[in-house]
Amino acid sequence: MTDSTIIYTHTDEAPALATYSFLPVVQAYASTADVRVETRDISLAGRIIAAFPEFLDESQRIDDALAELGALANKPEANIIKLPNVSASSPQLKAAIVELQQHGYALPDYPDDPKTDEERQLRTRYDKVMGSAVNPVLRQGNSDRRAPASVKNYAKAHPHRMGAWSPDSHTNVAHMEAGDFRSTERSAVITEPGSLRIELVGDDGSTTVLRESVPVLAGEVVDSSVMRVAALRDFVAAQIARAKAEGVLFSVHLKATMMKISDPIIFGHVVRAFLPKTFARYGAALATAGLSPNDGLGAIFAGLDSLPDGGEIRASFDAELAEGPPLAMVDSDRGITNLHAPSDVIVDASMPAMIRASGHMWGPDGNEADTLAVIPDSCYAGVYQVVIDDCRDHGAFDPATMGSVSNVGLMAQAAEEYGSHDKTFEIPTDGTVRVVDTAGKVVLEASVGAGDVFRMCQAKDVPIRDWVKLAVKRARATGEPAVFWLDEGRAHDANLIAKIGAYLQDEDTDGLQIEIMPPEQATAFSLERIRRGENTISVTGNVLRDYLTDLFPIMELGTSAKMLSIVPLINGGGLFETGAGGSAPKHVQQLLKENYLRWDSLGEFLALAVSFEQLAQSTGNPRAQVLSDTLDRATGTFLNEDRSPTRRLGGIDNRGSHFYLALYWAQELAAQTEDAQLAQAFGGLAKLLADQEQVIVDELIAVQGSPTDIGGYYQPVPALAEAVMRPSTTFNEAIATLG
């Protein structure tokens, strides 16, 4: 890789399909500034293939691109554009394995219930691919996410629809008051570098090492917490009864993709609690058949056909579903419930969508209804309740007038909960989990029962210091208040607050408003300001960063995909993220059915502009800056001309939006005066694209309306995907003239 290289990640689903259309444009334009744009495959399929080379033919083996980019992210020359990727749940991982096997990859099956050392090793290797495998590796810096001015101004001029709120709405959030991660948390600050061991001391006197060595650095904050399953079951049962009594939909909102160990287990307990009679009678048979509630009802229903009494079990499920409160639906037309798959209802996307839709979710009858949103852990659930109460009292927010809430997020070096995967365990027996140092001193400990979920988290000192510095920098640049969303009554937050107080002494904060508030209070403060049209910077930990950078953008802009997401890497490089991918599966389904891709690539346009800017500054390449400036202006025109994908057939889709971005970018490059050679190079292309606009649009629209084939969901066949995503010969030949 040369210094003038941008790495463009190949990921999954709709973002990956869009790349087949947009990347040729990017590479052609970048080549005029001597900038190489290379791809690295960090898709779920790519990660699986890279993890099992010994099972594959030489021609099938690929390098571990994620490991390569993880190393690059620690170098000052790093310039990575990261598209949304699948944070695979167990059902998604298994589906990807089956698809790859069908494509000729002799991969081993995923061991659901490993019995041998070999099976346990395979399970461990697969589990490293699952869930949030990508972000902790690449995010070697903290997060700066905000709505660009051009996007915010467009949203104000063309406000999206917000559902009206009734003061009589019965929508609410339910969370545990005791026995959850929040209430059991313990935290400590490491004084000397070394390592920690996590061990389970059973009440029977046995000692089991859960994790032999967890490296730690001086100043690092380490936490432990426990989800007590007895308390969880009681809580869920009470909420099911509450939903039925109040006549509202029941829904559970978790993050089973990112919290890939803990949340599928919690999800499974919710499924069991909703259908206790069926699991009491048939649970053993289901377990023997490898059908787990952790995978959801969809996986169980799909496996019932292979059981001799499958019809009887399905009838029991259906009868018990009818007895309970109505379930919120993912797809009421297809009978897909909130409990069908742990990856279907992701809290950071599902809760803002519910708030935007008058506090409603879809019911089994195909109608919207008030909902009891169950978020078991109380760490951040209250944030959503504050928003719901505010909407109930004051009505829906107005995108035409509301302010913004940007975010500075602590996420570098796998900070906090999202870095807990290899330190999260379902406890097999009653006892005490101890975290001890090399001298045998107990740093943290927690009493546990069989089935409880224990997790340990870390947040290193260097990222915390960098996070504080970035918050001050953003407050200085904007003049807006910066609010740390931290609760001194929470063990982890108390240690962060102490560090923030010390590190702010090293920063110039004169004239700045920097506050520390508990999350619920910070939510109310921010909502009051945005209703007045004022902006606020939220400064949060990793999970709240994830939640808030969906919550506020979905209310402000209608989507979080239009956010500018910059990760200034601690060692000097840049990681530029392109928005959220929560709706990507539905977009792929529509493409396969109608050859129409609604995915909006605006996030890629925004990320690419700042990527070129970073490259110009780091390498002294003035043409890269010209590409950045002209792309930024072209994106403004793109928004003003409303060239984002339309919602229905017959309009431009993702491919058409790429054509218009290419047209406006070429026109800006032809018109700029900073580089006459570039202006000349793009003058002919700008004229050609403008002259052929209708021909190109007609070619792009002509393919719509019929089913199409890309050869695979998790691993499309490149030639098929390229043919589908580049159907305009005229456009393709025009772009090729730059070569």
Q: At what angle do helices 378-394 and 542-557 cross, to 10 degrees?
A: 20
Residues in Cβ contact with 89 at an 8 Å cutoff, skipping those fewer than 6 apart: 130, 131, 256, 257, 260, 264, 295, 341, 342, 343
Q: Give me the pLDDT at residue 580, please.
A: 64
Q: 242 burial class (0-12, 13-18, 19+ CB within 10 angstroms)?
A: middle
Q: Tokens for 358? A: 């008058």
Neighbours of 722 (CB within 10 A): 17
> Domain locations in the chain?
230-371
Q: Give me the pLDDT at residue 343, please.
A: 86
To which H or E segment does residue 52 belong? Answer: none
What percent of the chain has a predicted confidence (pLDDT) above 90? 88
The runs of H, that is alpha helices, within 641-692 are: 654-671, 676-691
> CB-hemisphere CA count at 13 Å for 287?
10
CA 185 to chain centre: 25
Q: Give me the pLDDT at residue 583, please.
A: 57
Q: Give me the pLDDT at residue 578, please.
A: 86
CA 528 to chain centre: 27
CA 423 to chain centre: 21
Give the angle 405-408-411 at the CA atoms, nearest 5°: 135
pLDDT in tens, 564-604: 889 999 999 999 998 665 556 788 999 999 999 999 999 99
CA 206 to chain centre: 39
Residues in Cβ contact with 479 at an 8 Å cutoff, skipping those fewer than 6 apart: none
Q: Tokens for 294? A: 């952790």
Q: Give me the pLDDT at residue 2, please.
A: 52
Residue with the bigger pLDDT between 463 and 257: it is 463
pLDDT in tens, 59-68: 999 999 999 9
Q: Tokens for 362? A: 């879809």
Separation of alpha carbons 80 and 440, rounded Å? 42
Separation of alpha carbons 641 and 635, rounded Å? 10
Separation of alpha carbons 443 and 670, rounded Å? 63
Whether the predicted pLDDT of 35 surpasses 60: yes
Position 281, amino acid:
R
Mean pLDDT of the chain: 95
Whether the predicted pLDDT of 86 surpasses 90: no
Helices (H) and strands (E) in the chain, counts: 27, 24
Q: Tokens for 431? A: 């006892």
pLDDT in tens, 155-194: 999 999 999 999 999 999 999 999 999 999 999 999 999 9
What percent of the chain has a predicted confidence (pLDDT) above 70? 99
Q: Tokens for 610? A: 């700042």
Separation of alpha carbons 275 and 243, rounded Å? 15
- Name the band, by pLDDT with cuts 50, 70 and 90, for residue 149: confident
pLDDT in tens, 673-700: 999 999 999 999 999 999 999 999 999 9
Residues pairing with 60 in the sheet:
none
- Helix, strand and coil percent figures for the chain, each rounded to 5: 50, 20, 35
- Name the band, by pLDDT with cuts 50, 70 and 90, for residue 1: very low
pLDDT in tens, 403-457: 999 999 999 999 999 889 899 999 999 999 999 999 999 999 999 999 999 999 9
The answer to whether residues 65 and 46 touch, using CB atoms and an 8 Å cutoff, is yes
The answer to whether residues 330 and 340 touch, using CB atoms and an 8 Å cutoff, is yes
* DSSP state, residue 575: E
Give the angle 406-407-412 at the CA atoms, nearest 5°: 155
SS3 551: helix
- Name the band, by pLDDT with cuts 50, 70 and 90, for residue 477: very high
Match 């109930």 to its residue by tokens.
Answer: 392
How far is residue 498 from each of residues 155, 177, 221, 505, measured CA to CA in Å?
39, 26, 11, 12
To which H or E segment does residue 600 belong? Answer: none
Residues in Cβ contact with 605 at an 8 Å cutoff, skipping those fewer than 6 apart: 631, 634, 635, 638, 661
Q: Tokens for 372? A: 């009891």
Cα-atom radius of gyration of the chain, to the nearest Å?
Answer: 26
Q: Give me the pLDDT at residue 581, please.
A: 58
The strand ranges marked E within 427-559 are 431-437, 442-448, 453-459, 482-485, 514-517, 536-540
pLDDT in tens, 215-267: 999 999 999 999 999 999 999 999 999 999 999 999 999 998 888 899 999 99
Match 């069926």 to its residue by tokens.
Answer: 278
N residues, the chain:
739
Q: Give me the pLDDT at residue 112, please.
A: 86
How far is residue 473 from each of residues 73, 78, 406, measured CA to CA in Å?
22, 22, 13
Parallel, antiparallel, or unpaired: how do β-strands 336-337 and 329-331 relate? antiparallel
pLDDT in tens, 320-373: 999 999 999 999 899 999 999 998 889 999 999 999 999 999 999 999 999 999
CA 473 to chain centre: 25
